Chains A and B, each alone.
Chain A
């Protein structure tokens, strides 16, 4: 079956440093990937997405990298801020394949 998982359940970084959150997927047919951010007491919110015809996409302070060869994607956050503290989920979002799992908790140390 399809699955989307995370390498590290927790990540602690110093404020101002860059953060990298990794994610692996098993279904090579997945063609669309999404990163969500969930702050305490809230529902997950969309951050950035990427389609399989791309290997990199940049947003504001965030970059998603997709390596289809090894079925791996990562979320990079530049100059991590306290407001980035949250749980991050990657999702191989094709219709009906909406698996989130536990996510990766990012803690930012002042």
Chain B
């Protein structure tokens, strides 16, 4: 298995632009998680899905952030409009039916200028 696949690896955009981050979880995993990592705040949970249904989005910073999971093999995290303070590394992770041990992707390094 190729593991959790995220794209792009790096994204540089200007303030106000829409940013879409993509994730393909490990096949057969029922849980998908989006995290954001910064030096100041560490690794923060933004949202997670179970069987494609959003379960907890309390970590999503504000309405500019949205996440979808249209099917079991794909999820997106969208920021519209982006702001410089959104600059961070965004990780996607998935886990099996026990919802415990997480497998992380390599992350997307987002820079908003």
Whether A100 touches B42, Cβ cut-off 8 Å, given contacts A43-B91, A43-B93, A95-B99, is yes
CA distance A45 to B4 in the complex (A): 12
Asked if A102 CB lies within 8 Å of chain B CBs, one says yes
**Beta-carbon contacts of A13-42 to B below 8 Å, as 1s and 0s?**
000000000000000000010101000011
User: Cα distance A106–B12 when bound, in Å?
Assistant: 30
The answer to whether A46 and B100 touch (CB under 8 A), given A99-B45, A101-B42, A102-B42, is no
- Using a CB–CB cutoff of 8 Å, the interface residues on chain B facing chain A are 4, 33, 35, 41-45, 48, 55-56, 91, 93, 98-107
Instruction: Collect the chain B residues with CB atoms within 8 Å of residue A44's CB.
Output: 43, 91, 102, 104
Q: Answer whether A98 and B106 are a contact pair too, CB < 8 Å, given A43-B91, A93-B100.
A: no
Mark out the residues of chain A between 64 and 110 whose CB falls within 8 Å of any chain B CB in the assembled complex: 89, 91, 93-96, 98-103
Residue pair A103, B42 in contact (C-beta under 8 Å): yes
Q: Which range holds the interface residue count of chain A?
A: 20 to 34
Cβ A95 vs Cβ B103 within 8 A: no
Given A89-B43, A100-B42: A94 in contact with B104 (beta carbons within 8 A): no
Q: Taking CB as reference atom, which chain A residue is nearest B55? A: A96
The answer to whether A46 and B101 have CB atoms under 8 Å apart is: yes
